[in-house]
Amino acid sequence: MAIHLGNADHIGIAGSSNPVPERETFASAAHIQLHLWEHRSLFLGAIPDAVEVTPACSWLLVGLESPFDIAINDGQRISTRMALVPPGVEVCYFPEGGLQACCFLDVLCRDYRALSLRMQPVTDGLYCDAGTFADEVVESFRRLYHQPIDPAEFYDGFVDVLGLPSPMPEGRIQQAVAGVVSSVRLTAAANLTNGHYASEAGMADEVLSRWFRQQTGLTLRRYRNWHRLFLAAWMMRQGIPLTVAAQEAGFSDAAHFNHVFREMVGLKPSFI
């Protein structure tokens, strides 16, 4: 497994003077790569079994060796090489053991909106295969997987091939929600209330809840658990036991961490 953190973004841990290093790499014979950045993350590897998941952010799934099947909200299974999935829907996808790219996109859905313009709408916010665009993405991800490069160059290549927008928020509402997202990242291990973040942002609790769901498709609590998963994953790669990493990231115990991981990622933590 590899965890790469490009110099464009990094993940910090609340209460620590040491943010996640920006150029630290771990490797194993499993040939699974997990690239963690502040606004986006990327999994590259073979997934042997069907995955059922309710994503906490928008995902881009790419079959790097062959098409895969996907169904949304118990709908019809669709065969495709590339699928753009909105947050909060029930997803079942069938990778058939082939090499897969799972792109976890920005929480404010800017990446989702940009990519949706280049893909074909299907149902319930699902977009699929987009001809030559899919060809370019598949080939580029294959190259990134098989020919590892400097983490900073990797991040730039990832953003360029997908044509992702700037992570800078636009407009008053998006800027306010982005500020709350940043605050949640810094305090993820603490069980602060929505009221705390609303007061910090200078708005009413109900306004924050409405704006946050409007911009992200999530509740604030669900987003916080999503970020906690990545904090715990990074700590586990540092050799910290799962139980300790889970608690340091803000989960009540290992069982809580395992449950949230399975629900939001669709895999057991031990898989990665």
Contact 158, 111 (CB under 8 A): no
147-172 per-position pLDDT tens digit: 867 777 888 889 999 999 987 888 89
Q: By the 8 A CB rule, do 53 and 266 touch?
A: yes
**147-156 per-residue burial string, b: 16 or more CB within 10 A, e: under 16:** eeeebeebbe
Residue 262, pLDDT > 50, answer: yes
Q: What is the pLDDT of residue 272?
A: 61
Mean pLDDT of all residues belonging to the chain? 84
- Assess whether pLDDT exceeds 80 at residue 64: yes
**Residue 87 pLDDT > 50:** yes
Q: Tell me, what DSSP letter sits at residue 58?
A: -
pTM beyond 0.95: the answer is: no
Q: How far apart are CA 161 and CA 187, in angstroms?
A: 33
Q: Are 109 and 58 in contact (CB under 8 A)?
A: yes
